[in-house]
């Protein structure tokens, strides 16, 4: 029994640490993307640096992909384990009476976010790989802003991004705070940390939604 408990705790810690890593990346990603609204030249400069810096491309990028895989795989494993335990021990389990909707449906929001990540990778990462390594196109430090705005021209893609980031906000609302609990953070700063995670869960997804809508309604005119 103790072995099962330890393995369950270990899975939750891995889930939490990978989640915190992805939250950090999300903040960094937003910092770069918001410059596409504020100053397109800065956005082009930072995007070019991220796209051609060897440390980013050959070290940090693989770590990021691994973090995404670990987080979602561990999420599925924990969901399966929790459902199995619930089915045996809690026949009369009533989810709504024990936990809010967000925490009971993390797997649903996670699946939608995973599907969104597939689209995001297709829109930007695969495009970059094709541009640089398949087509062999020359470096162009000024191309990123126009390419980004073009992606948000179709209404369906903009709506999909808005919905996905709204669900990401719900996912963060529960998951970000829970990550600190899973790694054992329980001290006088816990209240402040919880407030910060709630603010983050609202502000960052809302910021991404703003970026998508801004570029959709402000296309580049030739």
Statement: residue 4 has pLDDT above 70: no
Residue 92 lies in a domain: no
**C-beta of residue 208 within 8 angstroms of C-beta of residue 169:** no
The pLDDT value given to residue 198: 94
**CA angle, 27 then 143 then 24, to 5°:** 10
Give the Cα separation of 210 and 37 in Å (integer): 9
- Whether residue 6 has pLDDT greater than 60: no
Exposure class string for 168-180: b at 16+ Cβ within 10 A, else e: bbbbbbbbbbbbb
What's the domain range around 118?
A: 2-81+103-217
DSSP state of 183: T
Is 60 within the bounds of a domain? yes
Residues 144-200 have pLDDT tens digits of 999 999 999 999 999 999 998 998 998 898 888 888 888 888 788 888 999 999 999
What does the block give as tokens for 203? Answer: 């502000």
pLDDT in tens, 51-91: 999 999 899 989 998 998 998 888 888 878 777 765 554 44
Does residue 58 belong to any structural domain of this protein? Answer: yes
Q: Is residue 93, in this structure, part of any structural domain at all?
A: no
Q: Pull the structure tokens for residue 194.
A: 């919880």
Residue 109 and residue 201 in contact, taking contact as beta carbons nearer than 8 Å: no
| Residue 98 lies inside a defined structural domain of this protein | no
139 DSSP assignment: P
| Domain contains 88 | no
Question: 21 with 14: CB under 8 angstroms?
Answer: no
Domain count, the chain: 1
* Least confident window among 18-22, 43-47, 105-109, 161-165: 105-109
Q: Does residue 110 belong to any structural domain of this protein?
A: yes
pTM to 2 decimal places: 0.83
C-beta of residue 202 within 8 angstroms of C-beta of residue 177: no
Query: Does any domain span residue 68?
Result: yes
At 109, which CATH number? 1.20.1300.10
Residue 48, both tokens: 């070019």
């Amino acid at each position: 029994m103790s072995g099962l408990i330890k393995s369950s705790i270990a899975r939750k810690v891995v889930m939490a640490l990978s989640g915190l890593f992805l939250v950090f990346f999300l903040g960094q990603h937003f910092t770069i993307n918001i410059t596409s609204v504020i100053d397109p030249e800065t956005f082009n400069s930072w995007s070019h640096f991220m796209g051609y810096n060897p440390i980013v491309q050959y070290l940090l990028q693989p770590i990021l992909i691994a973090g995404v895989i670990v987080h979602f795989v561990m999420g599925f494993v924990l969901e399966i384990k929790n459902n199995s335990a619930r089915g045996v021990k809690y026949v009369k389990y009533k989810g709504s009476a024990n936990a809010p909707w967000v925490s009971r449906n993390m797997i649903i929001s996670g699946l939608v976010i995973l599907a969104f990540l597939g689209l995001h990778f297709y829109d930007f990462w695969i495009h970059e790989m094709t541009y640089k390594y398949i087509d062999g196109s020359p470096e162009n430090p000024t191309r990123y802003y126009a390419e980004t705005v073009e992606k948000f021209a179709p209404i369906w893609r903009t709506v999909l991004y808005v919905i996905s980031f709204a669900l990401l906000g719900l996912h963060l609302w529960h998951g970000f705070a829970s990550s600190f609990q899973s790694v054992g953070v329980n001290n006088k700063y816990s209240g402040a940390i919880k407030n910060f995670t709630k603010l983050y869960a609202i502000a960052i997804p809302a910021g991404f939604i703003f970026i998508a809508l801004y570029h959709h309604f402000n296309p580049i005119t030739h």
